[in-house]
Amino acid sequence: MNAGKSTALLQTNHNFIENNLKTLVFIPQLDDSSISKIVSRIGIEVDAIPANSNFNFYKYTKLEDTKEIKSIFIDEVQFLKKDQIDQLSKIADNLNIPVMCYGLRTNFMGELFEGSDRLLSIADNLHEIKTICSYCTRKATMVIKINSEGKAETQGAEIKIGGNDLYKSVCRKHFRKLTKLV
Ligand SMILES: [Zn+2]
């Protein structure tokens, strides 16, 4: 699943690096696979600090030279826990470092992810990265998970990181048609 958000993250991060501005880049770590790179479809990649569910973003960042860090970037932010999103807001408020989060709003069942739920509640700004439906030209706002028989799944575990080929961005009309969940 890739709506171009990793590309957007990498481009913005690159703008900072190009101007010799220090950033921190994080990616949630869901299992032992320890993915610690963010790779975009257009070939840019950057090393990211892996953050598991016990990782404390505020404590980690506070130990850094916080005056030097000009921005923090997080990919796949939907996978963070509610309290981790709150830690990010403390970084913005207490350490005065902007935190830019990139992620999906809902899972393949059309439900908010825990991290996205909290983020939508407390974020200062929201920007929608627009992409089109895999089946028509409407704006894609939902995600479906395709199983081995080519059918849309309506239950099971939430998205796994890096599962590019199993997930498709779709409009709500096609989400309804394919999952009957709306
Ligand atoms: Zn559609």
- List, for residues 111-136, the tens digit of each pLDDT value: 999 999 999 999 999 999 999 999 99
Element (H, E) at 178: helix 172-179
C-alpha of residue 132 to centroid of ligand 1, in Å: 8
Q: Would residue 132 count as lying in a domain?
A: no
Q: Would residue 44 count as lying in a domain?
A: yes
Q: Would residue 146 count as lying in a domain?
A: no
Q: Would residue 134 count as lying in a domain?
A: no
- Closest listed residue to residue 101, CA positions, set 51, 32, 165, 171: 51
Q: Would residue 78 count as lying in a domain?
A: yes
Question: What's the confidence (pLDDT) of residue 58?
Answer: 98
- Which of the residue ranges 9-13, 44-48, 75-79, 160-164 would you say has the lowest mean pLDDT? 160-164
Q: Is the pLDDT of residue 160 over 80?
A: no
Q: Would residue 133 count as lying in a domain?
A: no
Domain around 39: 5-122
C-alpha of residue 182 to centroid of ligand 1, in Å: 14
How does pLDDT run across 47-64, given as a tens digit for each residue?
Answer: 999 999 999 999 999 999
68 classed as catalytic = no
How far is 53 from 30, CA to CA, in rounded Å? 8
Q: Would residue 24 count as lying in a domain?
A: yes
Q: Please give the model's pTM, rounded to 2 decimal places.
A: 0.91
Marked catalytic residue, from 45, 76, 114, 128 = 76
pLDDT band at 36 (very low <50, low <70, confident <90, very high): confident
C-alpha of residue 1 to centroid of ligand 1, in Å: 16
C-alpha of residue 84 to centroid of ligand 1, in Å: 34
More confident site: 96 or 150: 96
Count structural domains, the chain: 1
CATH number at residue 90: 3.40.50.300
C-alpha of residue 31 to centroid of ligand 1, in Å: 32
Over range 76-90, report the average pLDDT: 97
Q: Would residue 104 count as lying in a domain?
A: yes
Asked if 40 and 6 count as a contact pair (C-beta separation under 8 A), the reply is: yes
DSSP, res 146: B
Phi, psi of 57 (to 5 degrees): -65, -40
- Closest listed residue to residue 49, CA positions, set 34, 58, 36: 36
Question: What's the confidence (pLDDT) of residue 34?
Answer: 66
How far is 52 from 65, CA to CA, in rounded Å? 22
